[in-house]
Amino acid sequence: MKTILNTLVMTIALTLSAVVAADAVSVIDPYVRAMPPGQKVIAAYLSLKNDSDSDRSLVHAESDAAKNVELHEHVLKNDMLQMREVEKINIAKGSTTTLKPGGLHIMLIGLTRALNVGDIVDIKLIFDDGSEQIAKAPVKKILAGMGMMKKGMSKKGGMGDMKQMKHASPMPNLMGFVKKNAQQLTLNGDQMKALKQWADVHQPRIWKWVDVIISTEKQLHDGVLKGASRDELDKMTLTILDSRQKIIRTKILCVENLRAILNTDQWNKLMEIYAGVAK
Ligand SMILES: [Cu+2]
């Protein structure tokens, strides 16, 4: 009898602690980033608030919307934003960890169904204490790079950013390409330094114009629907064209500069590798 009672007390205690642990971390504002149809990989974001008095970490996530779910972070590598898997995401006691574009995120890989704006995706979150929570994340459209810009970060190069760049500029992105292939091109220290100096000055300017183009195009799109005057629409058009010209001119200078920095062999090698990728 005593044993049964003990077991019972233990069970209740365990159940209670599980309940308390589950409530210790609250999930705030979960959402999934809407992607163009056909995309098989999609990112989910949310905030995790830890009100308990012990550190917690998110160690695993699952969803019936994807074959595989991974915890990811973004890292800057050679000035390019890349993502990689992390073992866990820490939520220190009394603090909030925010997963957001350009930073930590949950990656849904191999979508099992099409996800449209407004759909709700269930994501099961599993914590290091074994507790679980289901985040109900609506699919939302978000502006690429917004999370990074809000923090005043000027570093760009995420997938959404590169898409905007491609849209805004018809020019080759040789600078990033050279950096990625620096070893193969056998760049020396001085050459790397010269490239970095150029990029530090001109990359932020180019990204600024890209932002102007994207936002002005949106104004133009909405303006014509809301009955903006032809003059106003003309002005927006000129802003877009002016920014495009600035980007193109800067990119031309960029290629000329690159040609001056690289020796003939390196330049030829670069053209060879680039032709293989740019097809
Ligand atoms: Cu990812």
Name residue, tokens 């032709």: 275
Q: What angle do CA 46, 52, 56 make, to 5 degrees?
A: 60
**Which value, to the nearest 10 degrees, does the dihedral of the CA atoms of residues 171, 175, 179, 183 take?**
90
Beta strand pairing call for 89-91 and 56-62: antiparallel
**Cα 19 to ligand 1 centre (Å):** 31
Determine the distance separating the centroid of ligand 1 and the alpha carbon of 109, expressed in angstroms: 9
183-186 CB contacts, 8 Å cutoff, 24+ apart: 184/269, 184/273, 185/262, 185/266, 185/269, 185/270, 185/273, 186/266
Q: Give me 142's structure tokens.
A: 């978000």
Report the DSSP pairing between strands 25-33 and 132-140.
parallel
ipTM: 0.97
Cα 204 to ligand 1 centre (Å): 24
Whether the per-residue pLDDT at 113 is higher than 70: the answer is yes
At the top level of CATH, which class does the domain 2-142 belong to? mainly beta
Tell me the pLDDT band of 15, cut-offs 50, 70 and 90.
very low
User: Is the model more confident about 39 or about 11?
Assistant: 39
Which residue did the predictor score with more confidence, 161 or 64?
64
More confident residue, 75 or 68: 68
Ligand 1 centroid – CA 28 distance (Å)? 20
| Distance between CA atoms of residues 105 and 147, nearest Å | 12
CA of 93 to the centre of ligand 1 (A): 26
Average pLDDT over residues 68-78: 82
Percent of the chain whose predicted confidence (pLDDT) is above 90: 52
Question: What's the CA gap between 267 and 185, in Å, rounded?
Answer: 8
Which residue ranges does the chain devote to CATH 2.60.40.1890?
A: 2-142
* CATH match of 152-278 with 3.40.50: no
SS3 per-residue string spanning 201-264:
HHHHHHHHHHHHHHHHHHHHHHHHHCCCCHHHHHHHHHHHHHHHHHHHHHHHHHHHHHHHHCCH
Please give the biggest Cα pair distance in the chain.
Answer: 89
Cα–ligand 1 centroid distance for 12 (angstroms): 40
3-state secondary structure 75-108: EEECCEEEEEECCCEEECCCCEEECCCCCCEEEE
Quick check: 102 pLDDT over 50?
yes
CA distance 21 to 125: 13
C-alpha to C-alpha distance for 139 and 43, rounded to whole angstroms: 10
- Residue 50, CA distances (Å) to 44, 56, 92 in order: 19, 7, 7
DSSP-derived secondary structure for 141-172: ---TTHHHHHTT-----SHHHHHHHHHH--S-
pLDDT at 6 (0 to 100) = 56
Taking the centre of ligand 1 as the mean of its atom positions, its distance from the CA of residue 144, in whole angstroms, is 14
Q: For residue 94, give every residue at least 6 positions away whose Cβ sits within 8 Å of its Cβ, in sequence order, or none.
A: 50, 51, 53
Region(s) of the chain under CATH 1.20.120: 152-278
What pLDDT sits at residue 75? 77
Instruction: List the beta bridge partners of residue 122.
Output: 136
Q: Please tell me the distance between residue 85's alpha carbon and the centre of ligand 1 in angstroms.
A: 7
Distance 35 CA to ligand 1 centre (A): 13
DSSP letters spanning 28-69: EEEEEE---TT--EEEEEEEEEE-SSS-EEEEEEE-TTEEEE
Is the pLDDT confidence value at 217 over 90? Answer: yes
Report CA(253)–ligand 1 centroid distance (Å): 34
Give the Å distance between the CA of 195 and the centre of ligand 1: 29
Using the mean position of ligand 1's atoms as its centre, give its distance from the Cα of residue 155 in Å.
17
Q: What is the pLDDT of residues 82-98, one digit of tens each?
A: 788 999 999 999 999 99
Residue 43 alpha carbon to ligand 1 centre in Å: 6
Rounded Cα–Cα distance for residues 50 and 90 (Å): 10
How close is the Cα of 105 to the center of ligand 1, in Å? 6
